[in-house]
Amino acid sequence: MWAGLALALLAAAPAARAQDPSPVDGGGNNVVTSHPVPPKRPPAQDITIEGMGSFGHYRIFAGGEDGKMYTGGIEYGRNSWGPFLHARNYYVAEILPIMRLNEAAHTDIWGDRLGPGRRILYGAGFSPIGIRLVWGNHALRPFFSAKAGLVVWDHKFISNEGSYIQFSLRESAGLFVKMNDRYDLRLGLIGDFHQSNGFMVDVNPGLDVANYEAGLVYHLGGGRAGQVR
């Protein structure tokens, strides 16, 4: 009998040690407390159908002039990183299957106009490297984005001595406007679209255009853009 009782006590001891003692209140009574762990929310993600148009150009980092560019495409955004500058920090990537450039038909090797006439170029772009910062939790939320990638045109870009392939760098600043729990309107109020070939060939005319943009944003889940946690 005593051997059986000793075995029972030894079997119960590990279970007793595995249980934390309950807190005791002032009256000597045990107090049961629980701290449920909140479920981890998935990262915020969105898809944007977007369009862009240019309203001017400048010659600081590129030599091309008088180009008018329009684009249409899709952008994917994911809140992949922690807050930065008090904003939510998103990774973004962009595909531009629609690109149209109205440029001078006759230029020198650096993109300076040599005579009258225009020509239309069509292209497509892909920007796999990008960042978006969104501030605030209100119906209007400022944002800044920057994206880098490649563009391919059906004719040599800006100059007949240039290239078909261009490196691109695109920046934009504006506002997200809340429409409902799933949709936002993204308004890019001012932006820059730079393209140049990085001297893949002997000359690198390049082009910088100032632009505006607009997009319809659909939130896939995990919270809307701009909620800083």
Tell me, yes or no, whether 200 lies in a domain. yes
Q: Hey, is 193 helix, strand or coil?
A: strand
Determine the pLDDT at residue 4: 45
Determine the pLDDT at residue 94: 97
Least confident residue range of 35-39, 52-56, 95-99, 155-159: 35-39
Structural domain boundaries enclosing 56: 45-221
**Higher confidence at residue 22 or residue 57?**
57
Tell me, yes or no, whether 22 lies in a domain. no
Tell me, yes or no, whether 33 lies in a domain. no
The reported pTM is 0.75
Of residues 207, 218, 189, the one with CA closest to residue 53: 189
Does the pLDDT at position 99 exceed 90? Answer: yes
* Average pLDDT rounded to a whole number, residues 150-156: 95
Contacts of residue 177, Cβ cutoff 8 Å, sequence gap at least 6: 139, 140, 184, 185, 186, 187
**Higher confidence at residue 24 or residue 173?**
173
pLDDT tens-digit series, residues 103-143: 988 888 888 888 888 999 999 999 999 999 999 989 999 99
Percentage with pLDDT > 90 across the chain? 55
Tell me, yes or no, whether 66 lies in a domain. yes
DSSP for residue 14:
H
pLDDT tens-digit series, residues 162-184: 899 999 999 999 999 999 989 99
Confidence of residue 222 (pLDDT cuts 50, 70, 90): low
Tell me, yes or no, whether 98 lies in a domain. yes
Tell me, yes or no, whether 37 lies in a domain. no
CATH classification at residue 181:
2.40.160.20
Does the pLDDT at position 27 exceed 80? Answer: no
Tell me, yes or no, whether 13 lies in a domain. no
DSSP H/E element including 103: strand 87-104
Q: What is the tally of structural domains in the chain? A: 1
Category of 85 on φ-ψ map: left (φ > 0), alpha (ψ -120 to 50) or beta: left
Tell me, yes or no, whether 158 lies in a domain. yes
Determine the pLDDT at residue 121: 96
